[in-house]
């Protein structure tokens, strides 16, 4: 069964009492901008979430896929670009009354059938982000001397400026 939802609330009543049953959710939500401390990010596209919730009698195992696009700033050239994000995740949900000691720390605890999972999805997105955003593997970044974007204009600032401490290495020749 597939249920379409326009926000990030899911209702698990359909599978709560049916061991072995599963339900599929298609979710979409617009997220607001957020600050990571080192840089601010905003969403370029809505967050699309696909969930499959399986009741195992002890808990509900959730398999999900998240797709969205973020506006990010490249850590090398400082240009803004669109960062596509696609990730898969697994989660475990359990009703508080059925939770064992192990599940109390790792699972999402449910008190009612309808669950708002926006924070849980946001957490998955943040965990999947790279340490540093790079617009492409070929990005040459900024010139440390003049600050020009070396992807847009060739820069010859540093070609003749050799650190005098390394001058002796310039005379060294390999015997290979």
How far is 173 from 16, CA to CA, in rounded Å? 74
Instruction: State phi, psi for 30 to the nearest 5 degrees.
Output: -90, 125
- The pLDDT > 90 percentage for the chain reads 36
Please say whether the beta carbons of 126 and 41 come within 8 A. no
The token duo for 56 is 């195992």
Using an 8 Å Cβ cutoff, are 59 and 107 in contact? Answer: yes
Q: What is the pLDDT of residues 18-68, one digit of tens each?
A: 778 888 999 898 888 888 777 888 999 999 999 999 988 888 889 999 999
Which pLDDT belongs to residue 88? 96
Cα distance between residue 86 and residue 112, in whole Å: 30
Q: Are 57 and 70 in contact (CB under 8 A)?
A: no
- Does residue 16 surpass a pLDDT of 80? no
Tracing tokens 């003049």 back to the chain, one arrives at: 146
For residue 173, what pLDDT is reported? 67
């Amino acid at each position: 069964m597939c249920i379409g939802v326009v926000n990030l609330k899911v209702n698990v009543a359909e599978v709560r009492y049916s061991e072995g049953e599963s339900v599929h959710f298609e979710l979409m939500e617009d997220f607001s901008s957020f600050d990571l401390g080192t840089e601010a990010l905003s969403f370029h596209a809505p967050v699309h979430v696909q969930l499959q919730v399986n009741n195992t009698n002890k808990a509900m195992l959730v398999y999900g896929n998240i797709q969205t696009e973020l506006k990010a700033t490249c850590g090398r050239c400082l240009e803004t670009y669109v960062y596509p994000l696609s990730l898969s995740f697994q989660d475990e949900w359990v009703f508080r009354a059925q939770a064992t000691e192990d599940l109390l720390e790792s699972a999402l605890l449910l008190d009612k059938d309808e669950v708002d999972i926006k924070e849980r999805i946001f957490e998955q997105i943040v965990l999947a982000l790279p340490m540093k955003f790079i617009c492409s593997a070929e990005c040459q970044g900024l010139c440390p001397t003049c600050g020009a974007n070396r992807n847009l204009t060739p820069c010859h600032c540093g070609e003749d400026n050799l650190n005098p401490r390394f001058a002796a290495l310039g005379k060294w020749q390999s015997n290979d």
